[in-house]
Amino acid sequence: MTPFPPHAMRTLTLYSRADQAARACAVALGFAIPVSVALDNLLLAAILALWLTSAGYREKLAIIRGNRVALAALALFALLVAGLAWGERDAGFAMLGKYLDLAFVPIFVVLFRAEDTRRRAWLALAAALALTLVLSCLLWGGIFTSGGILRDEPGNPQVFKDYLAQNVLMAFGAFLFAQFALRAQSRRSRLLWSALALLAVFNVVVMMQGRTGQLILAALAVYFAYSVWRWRGVWLTVAGAALLAMALVLGTASVSRMSRTFDEWRDWRPGQATQTSTGLRLEFYRNSLALIRNHPLIGVGTGGFAGAYASRVAGTELKPTANPHNDYLNITIQLGVIGLAALLILFYCEWRVAATLAAAHERQLARALVITFVTGCLFNSLLMDHTEGLLFAWASGLLFAGVNSRQPSAPQPR
């Protein structure tokens, strides 16, 4: 005799299937993030609908309440919602949509509880990054031509995303491939993942023009060397830096970009109009700090940055902007020091909670994620950008779902 009536059994089956479908969509999102914004949005909508349909709300809330990373992400998003009260209405809702990914961190934490789901999710992301890398190399070598979904421009073989997003993805991808190589179960797999890691490094350093990705890669290289070889890794990092410097010397385009950065820094004059990338950033930073001094506690409200900055530069030759190219400044101007504290607490919480993950490679991937965004947010508003912000939310849920699971959460390459 069944303990449940037929209609109850059908309801339970519906809930179970909705949960399975939600987890499948969350895995698929790992492949979509480096590839397609439209597919990202479609999968996010499906994940939300299926997650709500699968019921089990009491258990879900218990998991979220017990996860400090999920709570920290929700706290930052809640502040952005509160900032609508004193921000610009229309601009505020538009800006809130750019940070909506933060609200999905608790959902991902629930969906990625099973070890097999997490393993498949990492493989999905790795597959998309490998596809991007191969296509980028083919474009760079002139074997493929741009068009359609391929976004190549001369000397900058970007594929599905713009060069900045691709560089950030490839820098993190190099670390992910290296982790797969360390845990590979066969010599063939180890060689494959190692080759992809080295090719990703070459893509960031030589092929692409984005300097933010190069800085992220350098930070991740130092951490990888230390995490694997401890203090011996310091010497390996020095040797690697020397090899990298040689590669840059041999790569005329890279030398030109580095030289141009220093020239632009030297030529910049505060308060004077400039057209250079470095000069514009420095001017954004200078005026952003002035805005923070005028609104230190709660900022100008969610979505208020563009209007406040335009007022700041009105009557001058300086260009208005809606993006200071720095997440710390962007959040602080909108939400004040309270918002900055919430952002720093989120990063700090992820770093600390990483130490409680079951295996060394879990901790390394979690801290590599933090390093990627702590570094990248100094030079770009990564959390506001669709691809980078979604990567942070998805990977945060994927990594820290293991806190509430007795099973190991890191990917295991086959």
Within-domain flag for 26:
no
Residue 155 pLDDT class (50, 70, 90 cuts): low
According to DSSP, the residues that pair with 243 across neighbouring strands are: none
Within-domain flag for 12:
no
Name residue, tokens 């570094």.
375
Instruction: Check if the beta carbon of residue 148 is closer than 8 Å to that of residue 199.
Output: no
Residues 71-112 pLDDT 10s:
999 999 999 999 999 877 778 899 999 999 999 999 999 999
Q: What is the DSSP letter of 318?
A: P
Within-domain flag for 15:
no
Instruction: Check if the beta carbon of residue 220 is closer than 8 Å to that of residue 175.
Output: yes
* pLDDT higher at 229 or 146: 229
* pLDDT higher at 280 or 249: 280
CA distances to 320, 369, 376 from 389, in Å = 24, 12, 11
Residues 184-201 pLDDT 10s:
888 898 999 999 999 999
Within-domain flag for 95:
yes
Within-domain flag for 30:
no
Flag whether pLDDT at 412 surpasses 60: no
Q: Rounded to an integer, what distance in angstroms lies between the CA atom of residue 62 and that of residue 67?
A: 9
Flag whether pLDDT at 207 surpasses 50: yes
* pLDDT higher at 86 or 413: 86
- Count helices and strands (H / E) in the chain: 17, 0
Residue 414 pLDDT class (50, 70, 90 cuts): very low
Number of CB atoms found within 10 A of residue 286's CB: 13
Q: Which structural domain range is residue 167 located in?
A: 66-404
Q: What angle do CA 115, 22, 6 make, to 5 degrees?
A: 105
Q: What is the pLDDT of residue 147?
A: 59
Within-domain flag for 34:
no
Residue 10 pLDDT class (50, 70, 90 cuts): low
Instruction: Check if the beta carbon of residue 77 is closer than 8 Å to that of residue 368.
Output: no
Flag whether pLDDT at 328 surpasses 70: yes
Q: Both tokens of residue 289?
A: 């700090």
Within-domain flag for 203:
yes
How many domains would you assign to the chain? 1
Lowest mean pLDDT among 342-351, 361-370, 397-406: 397-406
Mean pLDDT of the chain: 83
Q: Rounded to an integer, what distance in angstroms lies between the CA atom of residue 288 and that of residue 305?
A: 9
Within-domain flag for 373:
yes
Instruction: Check if the beta carbon of residue 23 is closer than 8 Å to that of residue 117.
Output: yes
Nearest of 359, 215, 205 to residue 197 by alpha carbon: 205
